Amino acid sequence: MKWVYIEDIAQYDGQDVEIRGWVYNKRSSGKVRFLLVRDGTGLVQATAFSAEKDSPLFQKFDRLTQESSLVVRGRVREDKRAPGGYEMTIADLDIVQVAADYPITLKEHSTPFLMEHRHLWLRSSKQHAVLCVRAEVVKAIRDFFDGRGFRLMDTPILTPSACEGTTTLFETAYFDQKAYLSQSGQLYNEATAMAFGKVYCFGPTFRAEKSKTRRHLIEFWMVEPEVAFATLADIIELGEDLVLFIMERVLTKRKHDLEILERDTRPLEAVKKPFPRLTYDQAVPLLREKGSTIEWGNDFGSPEETLISEVYNSPVCVTHFPTAIKAFYMQPAPENPDVVLGVDFLASEGYGEVIGGGQRIHDLALLERRIEEHKLPREAYEWYLDLRKYGSVPHSGFGMGVERMVSWLCGIKHIRETIPFPRLLYRIYP
């Protein structure tokens, strides 16, 4: 008998097939038995009928517990009463293993309990849906950049020095030296961009920040494109196109998962190019008008991001932040060196910053001065300064946080559910 996956079951209407999976739930009603089977691709109801209640099939059925593994064989038929619209009439079943008391029931559980059982929680339908969306987002990101002639240039995870500060780095032994886990591939991206023109890196990044909010992970995935000769305006457009590309892909290919998540997709469908642009100078009075106490020169906090996303029914691009609060490599605006050519993309519906980036300093003398002002060890940046000695050009790039994007698309409030095994401030298990 043919082994098929549940996601393909509609193609086998009227045929005998075999499904290999796990018990999601079961119900019995005298001489009828209902089994909800999942196989990783979907859920299907399998039904067993028998005139005698002690039939061998029923005896096997009654031994099954939640999450027991099994092989069921039977005929597929359309049935409106079944969840999913198709049902299998069980001819025979083999038990692979009878599961011990499964801790996660179909009833409510607290977050600490579910996080403790994350390795099992992944089997639940909503977690399954979120992670399918994540996989689709990752695929969309790669398709987007590969389709536009970007070269994937992976940057190292073990690095000899900080990209920005030094307080948020994980330190590790590197034989007789110290190494740090990467918190951004950007500096290396600038080198590969000068070699390949358009590049991106995509991988995990690590920040030892004692952040304990629904928007932060200690280990998260970031995609970072870098484009030689691109200006701030070019990179903003690239970011818009990327966001729209991912959104369209997920809305078409993961529609079913968004339904499972009960995501109202109308706000996502309404997102259009161009996103509203707002300079920092314009944002500050707007925020104060809405009740924020922000002063010119302060960075946005999460309340400020939420306020802005409430004003616009769209993602918003905020640009030209004060030089003092941004990274050392940010290019000052030509008309006003107190602000930089940087951009933050704030997602709609209060999902916060999903993209941050901008134009990098390409002038050697200015970059040297900034490294000094930020009290960074010059010797660690010699290679980086070389990029400004040998054919320096204006260039720009950004970083997009995968988990924040997934959380926005899925309408999931907490970022920890958007990665299979989240690393959090007080949780590294499982």
| Pick 210 or 256: Cβ nearer RNA | 210
Minimum gap (Å) between residue 323 Cβ and RNA: 13
Q: Angle at CA 191, nearest 5°, toward 186 and 197? A: 100
Residue 14 CA to its chain's centroid (Å) = 39
**With binding defined as CB under 7 A, does residue 106 bind RNA?**
yes
| Pick 105 or 177: Cβ nearer RNA | 105
Minimum gap (Å) between residue 185 Cβ and RNA: 11
Site for RNA in 191-250 (CB under 7 A): 207, 209-218, 220, 222
Rounded Cα gap, residues 407 and 217, in angstroms: 12
| Pick 100 or 173: Cβ nearer RNA | 100
Minimum gap (Å) between residue 390 Cβ and RNA: 27
Question: Which of 41-49, 127-135, 269-277, 382-390 is the region at the interface with RNA (rule: CB under 7 A)?
Answer: 41-49
| Pick 225 or 352: Cβ nearer RNA | 352
Residue 275, token pair as written in the block: 């996103």
| Pick 350 or 364: Cβ nearer RNA | 350
Site for RNA in 395-424 (CB under 7 A): 399-401, 403-404, 414-415, 424
| Pick 91 or 425: Cβ nearer RNA | 425
Residue 128, token pair as written in the block: 């399954």
Note the residue count of the chain: 430
Burial of 231 (0-12, 13-18, 19+ CB in 10 A): middle
Q: Do residues 355 and 343 lie in contact, with contact meaning Cβ atoms separated by under 8 Å? A: yes
Q: How many CB atoms lie within 10 A of CB 168?
A: 17
In this structure, the strands spanning 2-3 and 16-29 are: parallel
Minimum gap (Å) between residue 176 Cβ and RNA: 29
Minimum gap (Å) between residue 121 Cβ and RNA: 12
Question: Which of 112-120, 153-161, 273-281, 307-315 is the region at the interface with RNA (rule: CB under 7 A)?
Answer: 112-120
| Pick 207 or 362: Cβ nearer RNA | 207
Rounded Cα gap, residues 420 and 217, in angstroms: 12
| Pick 244 or 325: Cβ nearer RNA | 325
Question: Which of 68-76, 188-196, 293-301, 308-316 is the region at the interface with RNA (rule: CB under 7 A)?
Answer: 293-301
Site for RNA in 46-85 (CB under 7 A): 47, 49, 51, 53, 65-66, 79, 81-83
Kindly tell me which residue out of 5, 12, 16, 25 binds RNA, with binding defined by CB under 7 A.
25
Rounded Cα gap, residues 409 and 129, in angstroms: 12
**With binding defined as CB under 7 A, does residue 15 bind RNA?**
no
Q: Which residues pair with 401 in a beta bridge?
A: 222
Site for RNA in 331-350 (CB under 7 A): 344-345
**With binding defined as CB under 7 A, does residue 325 bind RNA?**
yes
**With binding defined as CB under 7 A, does residue 257 bind RNA?**
no
**With binding defined as CB under 7 A, does residue 356 bind RNA?**
yes
